[in-house]
Structure formats: structure tokens, C-alpha cells
Amino acid sequence: MSERILTAREAGLVACTRCGLVHTPRTQNCTRCGAPLVSRDRHSLQRVWAWWIAGLIVYIPANLYPMLLTNTLGTRTRSTILGGVVELWAHGDLPVALIVFAASIVIPVGKFLAIAFLAMSINKRRFMSVHAQHRLFEVVEFIGRWSMIDVFVVAILASLVQFSFVASINPGIAAICFALSVIFTMKAALAFDPRTIWDD
């Protein structure tokens, strides 16, 4: 940083993270929007790790158990998340295979790594500049919800393909695990106090 920037904390003030209004230190709630005021959320990292671990625990069965149960003329096939991607690839639907691969494998795995990295290096500048860390946080926060695509795909397929014994698709147990994993990691990202990234 070329120029020094004064923060609300350094000025002995506390700012509202929802509306930006600045208050004197002992104010409990924002006088404009009513949100609770905290200069820095000291338990933020604890909550980040709690949601992160919960997300990781449910992400394991999400990959091991079937996501889709397909029934065609009495033949039952079970496909996992990775199996579904391979199937799309084999059919030649390359762009869709890539979307599903990105949404259900690359984004979740990348998100676990990115959140863990940010939580461990929140005040350290060993591997990344503060600007890069902030950018990474913004990307994680923005992209996390898009993993839900796969759950919606399963919901649409299961409601649409119901031709009794000829062909039917039903959701597998992995769908609920995967949805929970997305929700938990979204909570982990939301639990971050990005202001702590900038504190030295």
C-alpha cells in the first residue's frame, strides 16, 4: 500500500457492516439500520471452522452414495456425482459435463481449500498479498451458492422422468448430503469477518 488508510477501528470508532454508518465505540446497535455493532467479530474464525468441518463431513457421503437412481425397463442404475459427469462426457455433451464438473466438484473442493487457507492465513502475508486474499474471499462468497445447480438438476430430472416401469429417475441419498454441504460451506463463508483480513 502506497498510502495509509485510516480504519474506523483505528479512529476509535465502530462501523456498521450492513449500512456503513459510523458510531461511538460503546453503541450496541446501529442507529440507522438496527444491525448489532461489533468492531471485529472475535468468534468469527471459530464459526468458520465449525461450518467448514460440518460441510466436509456431509461432503464425503455426498460423493460416495448415489445421486440419481435410474430405472429403465427394470434395470436399475445408480450414479454418483462423478459417475454423472463421466456419463455426460461419454455421451459427448462436453459443455454440460464441464458445467456439472465445475459446479459439483471443482467449486466445492476449491471452496473447502480456499476457506481453510483464508482461515489459517487471515493475518499472514506469506503466500498472498492482502488484496489477493480479499479477492479470494469475494470469489468464495460469490461462487459458493452456484454449487446448488446439481441439486436442482436432480430435482428436475426426478419430477420429470416418471414413466412408471419404463423409465423413472429418483433422487439418491447423496442429493441431501450435497445440498447440506453447500448450505454449510455458504454459512462458513458468511461467518468470515472480511475486515480482519485487512488488520495488521
Whole-angstrom distance, CA of residue 4 vs CA of residue 187 = 33
We find the least distance from the C-beta atom of residue 13 to other proteins, in angstroms, to be: 7
DSSP state letter for 98: H
Whole-angstrom distance, CA of residue 44 vs CA of residue 31 = 23
Q: Which stretch binds other proteins (CB under 8 A): 12-20, 41-49, 54-62, 106-114?
A: 12-20
- Binders of other proteins among 46-75, rule CB under 8 A? none
- Binders of other proteins among 114-153, rule CB under 8 A? 131, 134, 141, 145-146, 148-153
We find the least distance from the C-beta atom of residue 42 to other proteins, in angstroms, to be: 15
Burial call 107-130: b when 16+ CB within 10 Å, e when fewer: bbeebbebbeebbeebeeeeeeee
At position 153, the amino acid (one-letter code) is V
Among the listed residues 58, 62, 183, 188, the single contact to other proteins using CB under 8 A: 183
We find the least distance from the C-beta atom of residue 49 to other proteins, in angstroms, to be: 20
Whole-angstrom distance, CA of residue 154 vs CA of residue 175 = 7
We find the least distance from the C-beta atom of residue 31 to other proteins, in angstroms, to be: 8
Beta carbons within 10 angstroms of residue 2's beta carbon:
3
Is residue 18 near other proteins by the rule CB under 8 A? yes
At position 69, the amino acid (one-letter code) is L
Residues present in the chain in total? 200
SS3 71: strand
User: Measured from the CB atom, is 116 or 197 closer to other proteins?
Assistant: 197
| Per-position x/- string for 30-49, each x denoting binding to other proteins as judged by CB under 8 A, each - no binding | --xxxx--------------
In Å, how far are 42, 84, 101, 165 from 151, measured between CA atoms? Answer: 34, 13, 13, 24
Question: What distance lies between CA 31 and its chain's CA centroid?
Answer: 32
We find the least distance from the C-beta atom of residue 15 to other proteins, in angstroms, to be: 3
Q: Which stretch binds other proteins (CB under 8 A): 13-21, 50-58, 105-113, 114-122?
A: 13-21
Binding site for other proteins (CB under 8 A): 1, 3-11, 13, 15-24, 32-35, 88, 91, 93, 96, 99-100, 131, 134, 141, 145-146, 148-163, 166-167, 171, 173, 175-176, 179, 183, 186, 190, 194-195, 197-198
